[in-house]
Amino acid sequence: MAFQANGIEIELTRGDITQQDDIDAIVNAANAELRIGGGVAGAIHRAAGPELEAETAPLAPIKPGEAVMTSAPNLPNRHIIHCLGPVYGVDEPADTLLANCYRGALDLAEEAGLESVAFPAISTGAFGFPMERAAEVASRAVLAKTGELESVRRVRWVLFSDEDRMLHEGVFESIFNA
């Protein structure tokens, strides 16, 4: 499914964030230490190999809501943007910190002159953020940025299951078609 907002193409797909070969930067749902872990960070670091940890180590630790960018060794993308989402029920204010991840990632993509960015559903796995609320926060944060994007023309969400994709479609329909 796809939406348009201020000339920006918003796409929703089911898939694996490491398999987005038509996207300039993929976003990692990182941990503070920017190391391999479970979920998205595990998949990205396994695909990228030790070269990635050599690049992330000097940038760590990062704080909830922050984003940093590296190259994308052994992946089909130009860059990886590592975002630390809030741990639900611990890092507050949760909505603001989650929105900061999306805003910060888009700022880094703009600064690098990138055309396309793909996000996973940050914080909705090990960090326990309720999926529907996370989808609302994420879509509102990106919608609010669309008016100021110049180089970024495409933003994709890569959801790991059909259930997650359908839930996002429902939320995005209400936000982007409001």
Q: Which two tokens stand for residue 63?
A: 């704080």
Coarse DSSP helix, strand, coil percentages of the chain, rounded to the nearest 5 percent: 40, 20, 40
Window 16 to 35, contacts with ligand ADP (CB under 6 A):
16-18, 29
Window 138 to 177, contacts with ligand ADP (CB under 6 A):
158, 160, 164
When binding is defined by CB under 6 A, the residue of 27, 75, 122, 137 that contacts ligand ADP is: 122
Judged by beta carbon, residue 48 or residue 121, the one nearer ligand ADP is 121
Judged by beta carbon, residue 61 or residue 147, the one nearer ligand ADP is 61
68 binds ligand ADP, rule: CB under 6 A: no
Judged by beta carbon, residue 70 or residue 123, the one nearer ligand ADP is 123
40 binds ligand ADP, rule: CB under 6 A: yes
Judged by beta carbon, residue 14 or residue 140, the one nearer ligand ADP is 14
Cα–Cα dist 62/99, whole Å: 16
The number of residues that bind ligand ADP (CB under 6 A) is 21
Q: What is the DSSP letter of 69?
A: E
Q: Which two tokens stand for residue 48?
A: 């990228």
100 binds ligand ADP, rule: CB under 6 A: no
126 binds ligand ADP, rule: CB under 6 A: yes
Q: Which two tokens stand for residue 27?
A: 């976003």
Q: Are 151 and 111 in contact (CB under 8 A)?
A: no
118 binds ligand ADP, rule: CB under 6 A: no
Cα–Cα dist 66/165, whole Å: 25
Judged by beta carbon, residue 8 or residue 29, the one nearer ligand ADP is 29
Q: What's the Cα-to-Cα distance from 108 to each of 43, 121, 127, rounded to whole Å?
A: 22, 18, 23
125 binds ligand ADP, rule: CB under 6 A: yes
Return the C-alpha torsion angle 126, 127, 128, 134, nearest 10.
-120
User: Phi then psi for 68, rounded to 5 degrees?
Assistant: -135, 155
Residues that bind ligand ADP (CB under 6 A): 16-18, 29, 38-41, 43, 85, 120-127, 158, 160, 164
